[in-house]
Amino acid sequence: MSTSKERRFEDLVEVIRNAPNAEEVREAAILLGDLGDIRAVPHLIDLLNNAKTHIIWDGAAIGLRELADQRAFWPLVHKLQDNRTLDHRGTLAFALSSFNCTDIVEFLVDMYISESYEVQIEIRSCFDNIDINEIKEDLRHKMISKVKAAFKNEKDSQKKIELRYFLEDILYNNSDGFAM
């Protein structure tokens, strides 16, 4: 690594550790990801885990997405599950879309059913990296049943449309067909 790139890395790590302004920390976290240096992964995971505001955890999530290092997968999932992230999960879901999310498909379906449109869009992109045919048939049917039940119980017509599209994506390669 060149001396100037090394110095830039060290400066950005210093900012995420000590900057008093959340916007500065967010920007430094994103820039760390842009550098492409995997040494940033532990620093960004620590920032993600300890962030008190969505401004900071969003920056850490974007930086981790850019690096796409597998060590970031579970910390991102855990942050999505944190109740403190309620109403601020779009960027976290966006960050997961650079990973293979096969291990958390049921969690993603549950989030899709319960979350805002912004989060739903990002969760749909997580499915781009999942081969639905590799998911065990019983789990696939369980997920389909959940979405169908949510569809039947949903009163909002726009949300029903989104649930239907999501179900069609899940069933894309399924020979059972689409029946609500």
Q: What is the pLDDT of residue 46?
A: 98
Q: What is the pLDDT of residue 133?
A: 82
Half-sphere exposure (CA, 13 Å, Cβ side) for 110?
A: 8
Burial of 95 (0-12, 13-18, 19+ CB in 10 A): buried
Q: How far is CA 15 from CA 22, 25, 62, 99, 103, in A?
A: 10, 6, 16, 27, 34
Question: Which residue carries 């017509």 as its tokens?
Answer: 157
Report whether CATH 2.40.170.20 matches the domain 1-99.
no
Token readout for 116 is 């805002």
- Determine the Cα–Cα distance for residues 135 and 172; give it in Å rounded to an integer: 13
Q: What is the pLDDT of residue 172?
A: 52
In the chain, where the domains are located: 1-99, 102-180
Q: What is the pLDDT of residue 131?
A: 84
- Determine the Cα–Cα distance for residues 132 and 105; give it in Å rounded to an integer: 9
Q: Where are the alpha helices (DSSP H) in the chain?
A: 3-18, 22-35, 40-50, 54-67, 73-81, 90-96, 105-114, 117-126, 137-153, 157-170
- Determine the Cα–Cα distance for residues 22 and 130; give it in Å rounded to an integer: 34
Q: What is the pLDDT along the chain (180 residues), one digit of tens a residue?
A: 578 889 999 999 999 999 999 999 999 999 999 999 999 999 999 999 999 999 999 999 999 999 999 999 999 999 999 999 999 999 999 999 999 999 999 999 999 999 999 999 999 999 888 888 888 999 989 999 999 999 999 999 999 999 998 888 776 544 344 444
